[in-house]
Amino acid sequence: MEQVQSLKRNENTYILGISNYDNIEAQISFALEQTIKELYNVEIAVDTSTIQRTRKDISGDFTIVVFPYVKIARKAPPVVAQEIGEVISHKLACSFNVVSGFLNLTFFSEYWINFLQNHLKDNRYGFQEHEAVPPILIEYSSPNTNKPLHLGHIRNNLLGSSVAKILEACGKNVIKVNLVNDRGIHICKSMLAWLKWGNGETPESSGLKGDHLVGNYYVEFDKHYKEEVKEMIANGIAEEEASKQAPLLLEAQDMLRRWENGDPEIVGLWQKMNNWVYQGFDETYKRLGIEFDKTYYESNTYLLGKSIVQEGVEKKVFYKKEDNSVWVDLTEEGFDEKLLLRKDGTSVYMTQDLGTAQLRYDEFHPQQMIYVVGNEQNYHFDVLKLVLGKKLGRAFGEKIFHLSYGMVELPSGKMKSREGTVVDADDLMDEMISQAAIGTAQLGKTDAGSEEAEKLNEMIGLGALKYFILKVDPKKNMLFNPEESIDFNGNTAPFIQYTHARIKSLLRKAAAEGIVLTEPAKLTSELSETETNLIKSLYEFPQVVLKAGDTLSPALIANYAFDLAKDFNRFYQETPIFKEENSELKVIRLQISHLIATVLKNAMSLLGIDVPEKM
């Protein structure tokens, strides 16, 4: 049976030791410790896990689970809950009800109004102050210089950039790095194809971005390579042998050896074509809003990796085979034997990742190194940690964390770079902006063709792309649907952007009427359930940010922002603001709207998304 005890506010009710209204759980914990001491003469440290948000089907804001205190009180749970409720409710200025061994506290409207007004001027609400601690280093993007960025890269870049922003909002010192895969057999394939069939073509002569031009030659190599393999098979050579001995592949492998030996001609070609690609990447990054504090290049780290491999050989934790290739045996750890250096002395990805990790640790001494890389590389990072830590004895190996994310698929299936069937990042951004223009024109949001319209369409189009990708849990594979992402009425960025613009319109109208929102407004009656729930949602934002930082999941931010926007729009439709005759209540409703706009802007900024002032 539920027992209810309501208390009227009076001058004797107070909040213990609280001035900023920012951590109700801490307030309840402190008051609960004092209450148990008063009632049962026992001093305890309250476990905050016993303080929870009240279930939606029960009246209350926060619930105290009293079962841990039954033994102290030597009474039945409902009795203990009732006794604690009668004392703690006076300390916390709230009412309470009891359901079995659960004490449900409901704070008076005055508390929520004070919390609201305390944060009206806080444009950084939800963000923590930076801590003076070792940095967290996060690597994302990591493109190959043989092709332009595609849809898969977009998820990588958006996820890495957003996680970095979230960690910074949690008060962490974050260093954002990019590792460019600027060497290897894949690069040589594009170089060789350009030498054979390029006829001196350049970005200037072709009108193509440099990354697109080089990517075309990667596809060209694959086309001719397959023709060679097919011809060899027709001449009676086994398919596996043909794929390894095709003349084009052998030429590319020879080019890689020449590059590693410093052949001036090959190195010069490599520098020229990579510079084309870097210029193309920079354009795409700028448009996508992606930034780095430092960029590493594998061509500068693989030699350090080779020296680390040699160290492992000397320590006999790695071994050489008869063909001179270097391996590490991980069978005791539940894996297999892993190649670290090829028989011709050229390095593999693991080689350069060993060197890169060492270089970063020496430079920054980070508390953690986060690698944002797709889940097809789970094995690679398990091995990297084992090799650095257990085999080589480098403690920073345990600081490596692989943020493994799922693949992005399209209705037509998976993408294949070498076959030229990828969704190009630049083309996709153009398409999203074009779709946004169609949507805004149909809704009559702007004057088509104006500079204002172009800026809005870019904001909406790129916002739709970012949000649709980031709202999905990183660990999950996802199907990208451009048409669904641009919907102004769904779980999309345009819906949230429009909500922010709608609130800003309300605030401009309030300002025009001379309504001042920064001054405290007193309310003689209680807030409605809808108004209280909106403020409670705003209270939760800092906790959502911290949880997103703990789990490295921007999806928590995205879906919080959608729920808040959805709740505001319901409030806007059902609750009059400017028609409200009670001037104090009108101000409080506008103050709620103001803080919602701030939180929506801050939440979307963590996803790399801008919100318009009007729309």
The answer on pLDDT for 415 being more than 60 is no
Out of 33-47, 413-427, 598-612, give the one with best mean pLDDT: 598-612
Has residue 526 got a pLDDT over 90? no
Place 481 in a pLDDT band, splitting at 50, 70 and 90: confident
Amino acid at position 392, single letter: L
Assigned token pair, 260: 């590693």
Both structure tokens of 483: 């048409």
> CA–CA separation, 54 vs 540, rounded Å?
13
Between CA 190 and CA 57 the distance in angstroms is 62
Residue 3 pLDDT level (bands cut at 50, 70, 90):
very low
**How far is it, in rounded angstroms, from Cα 299 to Cα 362?**
18
Higher local confidence (pLDDT), 9 or 340: 340
Distance (Å, rounded) from C-alpha 105 to C-alpha 52?
Answer: 10
Closest CA to 603 of 125, 172, 176: 125
In contact, 150 and 280? CB cutoff 8 Å = no
Residue 148: pLDDT band (50, 70, 90) is very high
The pLDDT assigned to 7 comes to 34
Where are the domains positioned within the chain? Answer: 3-107, 140-419, 432-605
Q: Are 439 and 488 in contact (CB under 8 A)?
A: yes
Amino acid at 269: L
Q: Does the structure show a pLDDT above 70 at 147?
A: yes
Q: What amino acid occupies position 490?
A: G
* Confidence band of 344 (pLDDT split at 50, 70, 90): confident
CA distance 123 to 479: 35
Question: Coil, strand, or helix at residue 178?
Answer: strand
Residue 338 half-sphere exposure toward CB, CA atoms < 13 A: 26
DSSP structure string for 197-210: H-TT--HHHHT--H
CA pair distance 589, 204, nearest whole angstrom: 57
* Predicted pLDDT at 194: 98
Span 3-107 CATH architecture: 2-Layer Sandwich (3.30)
Predicted confidence (pLDDT) per residue in 87-121, tens digit: 999 998 889 999 999 999 999 998 899 999 999 99
Average pLDDT over the chain, rounded to an integer: 91
Choice among 52-61, 190-199, 501-510 with the minimum mean pLDDT: 52-61
Q: Buried b / exposed e across 189-224, counting CB within 10 Å, b at 16+?
A: bbbbbbeeebeeeebeeeebbbbbbbbbbbbbbbeb
Give Cα 246 to chain centroid, integer Å: 43
DSSP-assigned beta bridge partners for residue 508:
none
Express as a percent the part of the chain with pLDDT over 90: 78
Reduced to 3 states (helix: H, G, I; strand: E, B; else coil), residue 104 is strand
Alpha carbon distance 99, 76 (integer Å): 12
How is 378-437 classified by DSSP, letter by letter? HHHHHHHHHIIIIIT--GGGGGEEEEEEPPEEBTTB---GGGT---BHHHHHHHHHHHHH
- Residue 11 pLDDT: 36
Question: Is-contact 184 256, C-beta < 8 A?
Answer: yes
Q: Does the pLDDT of residue 15 top 60, yes or no? A: no
pLDDT greater than 60 at residue 456: yes
Q: For residue 232, count other CB atoms closer than 10 A to its CB.
A: 18
Q: Please tell me the predicted confidence (pLDDT) of residue 207.
A: 96
**What's the gap between Cα 160 and its chain centre?**
6
Instruction: Specify the amino acid at residue 535.
Output: I
What secondary structure letter does DSSP report for 177?
E
Asked whether the domain spanning 432-605 has the same topology as the one spanning 140-419, the reply is no
Asked if residue 185 has pLDDT above 50, the reply is yes
Give 597's contacts (C-beta < 8 A, 6+ positions apart): 500, 503, 504, 507
Across 11-20, 39-48, 204-213, 515-524, the highest mean pLDDT is recorded for: 204-213
- By three-state DSSP, how is residue 584 classified? helix
Across 582-595, average pLDDT: 95
Q: What is the mean pLDDT of residues 430-449?
A: 79
- DSSP-derived letter for residue 67 is G
> What residues have CB less than 8 Å from 85, skipping those under 6 apart?
5, 96, 97, 98, 103, 105
List phi, psi (to 5°) of 358: -65, -45
Amino acid (1-letter code) at residue 224: H
Q: Which residue is it, tokens 């005890």?
A: 5
The mean pLDDT of 337-366, rounded to a whole number, is 93
CATH topology classification for 432-605: Isoleucyl-tRNA Synthetase; Domain 1 (1.10.730)
Cβ 428 vs Cβ 462: under 8 Å: no
What is this structure's pTM? 0.90
**Domain 140-419 listed as CATH 3.40.800.20:** no
